[in-house]
Each structure stands twice: as C-alpha cells, then as structure tokens.
Amino acid sequence: MYHQYVETEKRVMAALDGIFPFIVGMHLLATDPDNTYLIMPLTPGGNLFDLVYERGSLGEYMARFYSAQILLALEFLHATGFVHRDLKPENVLIDANGYLRLADFSMIKSIGRGRTYTFCGTPDYMAPEIFTYKGYSQAVDFWSLGAMMYELTTGRTPFEGPDVGTIFQNALNTNYNLDVGFSPSLQSLLRNMLQPDLSKRYGNLKNGVIDIKKHPWFRPVNWLQIINQKMEAPFKPDLEWISKKEIRNILDSYENEYVDF
C-alpha cells in the first residue's frame, strides 16, 4: 500500500536534493508493483545512533561538531516553512567525509509560522507540547536537538524510563540529570533547550536560532568552516567495506515511531 508518508518523503527529498549540504536528497525514484524505492546518496558511515552505541558516548567536542550541522539543517528547514518532527540520532546519517545528512522526512510538515496538532515522533525526543496535544510549532525540533545533544555527550537519552508514560512525565517535569560531567556552558544550553515553557525555550524566542548559535557552548564553532565542510571531521568511516548493517539502518529508520492519524 502506498503510504501517505512515503509520498511526503518523496516530494521533500526530491525538492531538497543538492540544495543544502546537511540534508539528504533523492537521486532517483523507482517503483515496482509492490514497492517504492527512494535512491539516496551513499552514506557509508551509518547513523549517529550506531556511532553512539559503539562508543558509549562521544564527548562534548564531537557532540558540538555534529550538533552544529544539525542546527544548520534545522535552520534551513525552518526557513522554508518545514518542521521535521522526528529528529533523533537514527535519522542522521554520516557521509564518506564524516559530515552529516539529516534524513527521514516521513513526518515532515510545512506549517510556516503556524501550529499543528498531530501526535507523532519518537517518545525519547518528543517535546511536551506534542504529547499534551496543545498544538506545536517548529520549536519542537529544538527540544529534540537538545535531547540529542545530551545523548551524544553521555550515551543515553535524558528522559529515559521503563515505559512511554514515564518518559513523558520525566520530560514534562524536566526530570533529568545534568550532573554527569557536562561543562557549565553545556548545562546552561540544555536547560534553555529542554525547556517546556515555550516562552523561554531557545530557538523559539525573539532572536530565533541565533540564541543557540551564539551561546557560549557553540563559541568554538567556525560556522563558515562547518557549512563549507572545511573542518576536519573527528570520525571518518572506513570505506574499505560497507556492512549489511549500514543498509539495514535505512530500512529500520521507520521503526519505533508514533503516528496518530
């Protein structure tokens, strides 16, 4: 069955192909009687989830390098009116040069400066306004990025729990531990991004994404070098072989997601 979210992803990937360096595009579309195939550029480094799983944690230097690229990708998507709604390490691919490509646009939606109410995403990264059905804006992506930054640095998600209900309660009550070796500047940034109060959440204030880009934790970043991919990546994939696991990463990217029609 041709799913509406596949149609959305096809259109978005085709439109964004080659336009922005940190967003994956679609080179070719192929179909047969049973399936639709979206042919994407090769990203032999797998995804960020696998990298964190293998290393346990990446530390602040690598987390900052990757978070800067994701932030630029979100800035671009938001400027074009989109909200991603399912930002997580599994949906961020690593190319041959060690740089990132934001992927999986099955839940992306064009809302401009408006709001939407669909319950969707992955619980560990969902902003409170999604699961409380209050309506939400592009600010949900900055919450998800904050959760990712925590995970990249520590190797675990901030609001983990034995079940979805506990995860949601931890997020709603900002029940997470910052006393895990974070630098003071990262603690400050996470408090402002993992902020249930939208009037205080970084990325959603008057200065928009600038509040995040100019935060002291991102001070070491040369944004021009990052966007031009001139900075040496801290990790580059081994191109001698590509395991079947990397192919499964793409096929598995649609699992563990919640969608309420």
Q: What is the full per-residue pLDDT of the chain (261 aa) written as tens digits?
A: 346 656 666 666 666 666 789 998 765 666 777 776 766 667 778 899 999 999 989 999 999 999 999 999 999 999 999 999 999 999 999 999 999 999 888 889 999 889 999 999 999 999 999 999 989 999 999 999 999 999 999 999 999 999 999 999 999 999 999 977 899 999 999 999 999 999 999 999 999 999 999 999 999 999 999 999 999 999 998 876 555 555 556 556 545 545 443
Q: Is residue 257 part of a domain?
A: no
The residue with tokens 């990052």 is 226
CATH of the domain at 194: 1.10.510.10
Domain that holds residue 167: 45-245
Q: Is residue 22 part of a domain?
A: no
Q: Which residues contact 123 (CB under 8 A, 6 or more apart)?
A: 131, 164, 167, 168, 258
Q: Is residue 198 part of a domain?
A: yes
Q: Is residue 100 part of a domain?
A: yes
Q: Is residue 256 part of a domain?
A: no
The residue with tokens 């990790």 is 235
d(CA 93, CA 23): 9
The residue with tokens 């679609």 is 26
Q: Is residue 215 part of a domain?
A: yes
> What is the count of structural domains for the chain?
1
Q: Select which of 86, 95, 104, 141 is catalytic.
A: 86
Asked if 21 and 99 count as a contact pair (C-beta separation under 8 A), the reply is yes
d(CA 99, CA 97): 6
Distances (CA, A) of 61 to 23, 128, 167: 22, 28, 27
The residue with tokens 């690598």 is 62
- Long-range contacts, stretch 16-20, CB < 8 angstroms, 24+ apart: 16/105, 20/73, 20/76
Q: Establish whether 260 is a catalytic residue.
A: no
d(CA 138, CA 175): 23
The count of other CB atoms within 10 Å of the CB of residue 198 is 18
Q: Is residue 250 part of a domain?
A: no
Q: Is residue 239 part of a domain?
A: yes
